[in-house]
Amino acid sequence: MFAEYTAVRGSVALEHDQILPLSPSTVDNQVCEQFAVHPNLGTLQKLFDGGDLVFFANTGALTKPTDKENYQKDTETQLFAHDVCKFICLH
């Protein structure tokens, strides 16, 4: 998935040796087994690895329960911001 990340991000992609790896204690139902954060987020890396920080991926503001087929119809707010911490898959 790191190759996919670099393909999508193009010239703004970080090099593998620039990113800070995270050490998750469990990786259940994930596409990736390893994650990382931007090099400017070293404090977040330490908090996460110390068990004092949790990341929530793909969360948003739902006004009612929905499913994949009805998501566009049921969702009033389209956030999908990229200004929040982002996981980078390392394998």
3-state helix, strand, coil in the chain (%, to 5): 30, 5, 65
Across 66-81, average pLDDT? 72
pLDDT band at 59; cut points 50, 70, 90: low
> What's the confidence (pLDDT) of residue 75?
73
Rounded to two decimals, the pTM is 0.59
At 7-47, the pLDDT tens digits run 999 999 999 999 999 877 776 776 677 888 999 999 999 98
CA distance 75 to 73: 6
